[in-house]
Amino acid sequence: MKLSSMTMHSTRPAFIRTGAFALAAALSQATIARTHAAGASTPGPVVASQLTPVITWAVPTAITYGTKLSAAQLDAKSTTAGTFAYSPASGTTPHAGSQTLKVTFTPTNTTSYTSATASVTLTVKKATPVITWATPGAVCSGTAISSDQLDAVASFGGAPLAGTFNYSPASGTQLLAGKNTLTTTFTPTDSADFAAATASVPQFINLMPPAAISGNGTGLDTPTGLAVDSGFIYAANYGTGGNSVTVYPLTSSGSGAPSADISGANTQLKGPGGVAVNSTHIFVTNVNGASVTVYRITAGSNAVPSAVIKGAKTGFVTPARVAVDASRIYVTDSGTNSIDIFPLTAGGNVAPSVVITGSHTGLNKPSGIAVNAGHIYVCNGPANSILSFSLTASGNASPSAVIAGSKTGLDAPLGIAVDSGQIYVANEPNSSVTIYPLAANGNVSPIFSFVGSPASLQNPVGIAVNASNLFVSNATGSIEVYLLYQIPGITEALVANAGVPRAPSSPAPEPDAPPPVPAGKFSDAPGGASSSLPVVTDLARGEVSAESPLTGEFIVGGTAPRKVLVWVVGPSLDSVGVDDPLAALSLSVFDLSGTVVARSDASDALETAVAEAAAGVLPLPDGSLDSAVIATLPPGTYTAVASASGSASGIVLVEVYEIP
């Protein structure tokens, strides 16, 4: 039978969809038409293949451990209707690292579509623990930090977190006075999911005197002047019940009586305001007596002065404070706004050899005075300033430096002391001590200051310093003793005249160059390797003769013995251009009791070589007549003495190095 016509209906079968299925339907109908045209029998139902849905899923932004999975990460999409099943499921907390997220898509029309899967990689970062650490309360100097301060706790999500804390400084450390920083590093037990964390808190250390001389038995009465030597503390007591100079051993503390009390009619003391000492004498200014009285170092009750500087020629009106060096006496006069300088042997009605006064000087009721190798330092109370003059200044000379201004913290300063690195000032009205670098000038902040309670300062008026301690006298009748190593900026381990460590020097010279002699700096180790050894500042430099040896004091700090190199350079100074170096010398080191603990002379060539090598410093020239000694010394105070051999005289340099 011939098929004459075929009608195509525009209505699509229910199972046919748009797109690919539309094309399939069209092809199927064309096939049917051809088949019928060829006389074939009518075919059965046509079945289309299932399609795979397309899933779109962007890589999620990294999260931190502890974040639960949510729609922010589980956000796959498809243009086909259906449902998503995720693994891990929403609400899961994945571990740190690279985690694979998977999804299975089930279409609503399972006849036309198959299910589909997809995956993405999620980066999970380690979580940082929360460290809670309250700022510890201030403690006093000399107190070792402990769990009372080192008490940080770690947590995460409000729950405690297991792990270990590593603190710096460690428990048991005694911190310097002032503001310190405590730090800790927390290492969690679960290091897979948690990162290490750090935290820090400030720790304030109040400077406290470990010793104080105070009480009715001490004889202190407004001790305005203060001085120290290698064994004793000297206080000039200005108070109405005073008119005395009281002397105490350096180790004194409490209310015990002085070891000496210079007082009585024969002393001619009248309102003593300042005191200074050298190895043989005590020098005292008498504010109410317009004089300077001088006593032998061994003077006691009702002692007669060995000299009295007094009379019209002296120019004294109100001599306030006094200082001495190897050759001169320096007196501030607040009545004449002057510094009057006399020979060390002056006595009687004599004129000063030098007077510094005039409008250019800036002197305004000067009080405290101190001298070192190059300068005179003076307190200007009413002007709230510290003036510095060259030792060669005279007349209407301008100061070489002026410390003044709002940053300085100066408040009517009365007492001043200096060492090889710092200036120490006692400020009475605000009960403070301020400390400055020796080269300070202008409106500069102190490198450290401490005030009133709890430092026990009560109107400080006098101040003195030695290699290890700072001494402060209060107008209320006490002397406080502070440890220099507890003060920031002051050398702790091995102190020479309380100096500061030296800076590195230049590299070692070429082999054919003359070897330099150390002069206050780090020396380089043999072979050009830089030495990192702690080195003490020069103990002493100066001229030595048979009658006049050169001495320098140093302190071995800490609690354990330390190995040190002490050397005296004389003959080799000639190679670095020093005029008149000492040609032959010897070296001795004494402890505080006067016992010789080490000795060397130019014949100890082997000893010198061993010491140089151990200290890592440049060796002295071959055949040098310089001296050195190496010794292991327990903590304590020592004196190095450089002596001339025979009748020789000349310049020497004394240094100390610590040897590891």
Give the pLDDT confidence of 175-201 residue by residue, as tens digits.
888 889 999 999 999 999 999 999 999
CATH number at residue 625: 2.60.120.380
The string of pLDDT tens digits covering residues 518-545 is 322 222 222 222 222 333 444 566 777 7
Mean pLDDT of 367-374: 93
Domain boundary among 161, 187, 206: 206
pLDDT band at 559 (very low <50, low <70, confident <90, very high): confident
Same domain, 374 and 431: yes
Q: 119 with 232, same domain?
A: no
Choosing from 187, 206, 225, the residue where a domain stops is 206
Could you tell me if 228 and 317 lie in one domain?
yes
Do 293 and 396 share a domain, yes or no? yes
Within-domain flag for 545: yes
Report whether pLDDT(467) > 80: yes
Identify the band that residue 582 occupies on the pLDDT scale cut at 50, 70 and 90.
confident
Least confident piece of the model among 25-29, 196-200, 285-289, 536-540 = 25-29
List the structure tokens of 495: 């102190």
In a domain, 229, yes or no: yes
* Any domain includes 238: yes
Give pLDDT, residue 49: 84
Indicate whether 375 belongs to any domain. Answer: yes
Average pLDDT over residues 426-450: 94
Q: Is the domain of 109 the same as that of 64?
A: yes
Q: For 575-588, give the secondary structure using H, E and C.
A: HHCCCCECCCEEEE
> Which residue from 150, 209, 190, 148 is spatially nearest to 486, judged by alpha carbons?
209
pLDDT at 60 over 90: yes
- Give the domain CATH number at 155: 2.60.40
Confidence class of residue 316 from pLDDT cuts 50, 70 and 90? Answer: very high
CA nearest 319: which of 383, 261, 275, 262?
A: 275
Rounded to the nearest angstrom, the gap between the alpha carbon of residue 338 and the centroid of all alpha carbons in its chain is 38
Averaged over 357-375, what is the pLDDT? 95
Among 251-255, 273-277, 624-628, where is mean pLDDT lowest?
624-628
The mean per-residue pLDDT over the stretch 356-375 comes to 95
Same domain as 352, residue 261: yes
Q: Does residue 507 form part of some domain?
A: no
Residues 143-160, mean pLDDT to the nearest whole number: 95
Higher local confidence (pLDDT), 623 or 420? 420
Q: When comparing pLDDT for 92 and 565, which is higher? A: 92
Q: What is the mean pLDDT of residues 204-231?
A: 92
Query: With bands split at pLDDT 50, 70 and 90, how would you rate the model's confidence at 513?
Result: very low
Average pLDDT, the chain: 82
Exposure class string for 149-162: b at 16+ Cβ within 10 A, else e: bbebebebeeeebe
Residues 71 and 35 in one domain: no
3-class SS of residue 607: helix
Taking the mean position of all CA atoms in its chain, how far away is CA 270?
44
Query: Where does the pLDDT of residue 610 fall: very low under 50, low under 70, confident under 90, or very high at 90 and above?
Result: low
Q: Could you write out the DSSP letters of every residue in 144-184? A: BP-TTT---EEEETTEE--EEEEEESPTTPBPPSEEEEEEE
Residue 260 lies in a domain: yes
pLDDT of residue 251 exceeding 80: yes
* pLDDT score of 63 more than 90: yes
Query: What's residue 54's pLDDT?
Result: 95
Give the residue from 462, 490, 518 where a domain finishes: 490
The pLDDT of residue 389 is 97
Q: Both 19 and 70 in a single domain?
A: no
Same domain? For 452 and 548 the reply is no
pLDDT value of position 202: 94
Percentage of residues in the chain having pLDDT higher than 90 = 59
Q: Which domain holds residue 547?
A: 526-659
Decide if 544 is inside a domain. yes
Domain count of the fold of the chain = 5
One domain, residues 484 and 566: no
The model's pTM is 0.62
Among 393-407, 599-613, 640-654, the range with the most confident prediction by mean pLDDT is 393-407
Mean pLDDT of 307-330: 97
Q: Are residues 69 and 184 in the same domain?
A: no
Whether 426 and 478 share a structural domain: yes
What pLDDT, on a 0 to 100 scale, did the predictor assign at position 44? Answer: 52
Residue 374: both structure tokens together = 């190059």
Cα–Cα distance for residue pair 272/243, rounded to 1 Å: 6
Average pLDDT on 566-578 reads 75
- Residue 547 has a pLDDT of 63
Q: Is the pLDDT of residue 286 over 90?
A: yes
* Position with higher pLDDT, 572 vs 157: 157
